[in-house]
Amino acid sequence: MTTAYDFDFKTIDGAPLPMTTFKDKVVLVVNTASACGLTPQYDGLEKLYTDYKDKGLVVLGVPCNQFMGQEPGTEAEIKSFCETRFGVDFPLTAKEDVKGETAHPFYKWALETLGEPADPAWNFHKLLVGKDGKLIRAFGPRTEPMADEITGAISAAL
């Protein structure tokens, strides 16, 4: 059976980032963008990460330019923006597609596993992966990172 641990990303700095890095942790995978109306969610994502990382949560940002070109920058520009504007300390991947034929294999697997709820309709769509590498749930882009429905699902998974 396939789990999240069967997939690899690259870090925003270009180093290998196998999902096995996060084995036995709960991971919130979020496709992000720097020029979106929802970009202020970076604040909530960072708070979520800070509040729960010692309990075993990882927030993984996946920059994506598929939604109205709202992530046009280079990886270096994206990293700088996230760190300086929002103090982002959680890991970021290299820029990836999250939808359609060109979607990263992790996202194709998520869609096959959870169906339509796992298909990102916009930036800041969230996928929650359990400690066992199985997908638990998807959250839509407008669900704020600190919303009870997300923090509750994370607490239950931890």
Query: Distance (Å, rounded) from C-alpha 41 to C-alpha 37?
Result: 9
Q: Please confirm, yes or no, whether 36 is among the known catalytic residues.
A: yes
Say how far apart CA 129 and CA 114 lie, in whole Å: 11
Q: Is the distance from CB of 104 to CB of 8 less than 8 angstroms?
A: no
What string of DSSP letters covers 122-154? STT-EEEE-TTS-EEEEE-TTS-TTSHHHHHHH
Of 21, 23, 36, 117, catalytic = 36
**CB 88, CB 42: distance < 8 Å:** yes
Residue 32 to residue 43: CA distance in whole angstroms: 12
The catalytic site residues sit at 36
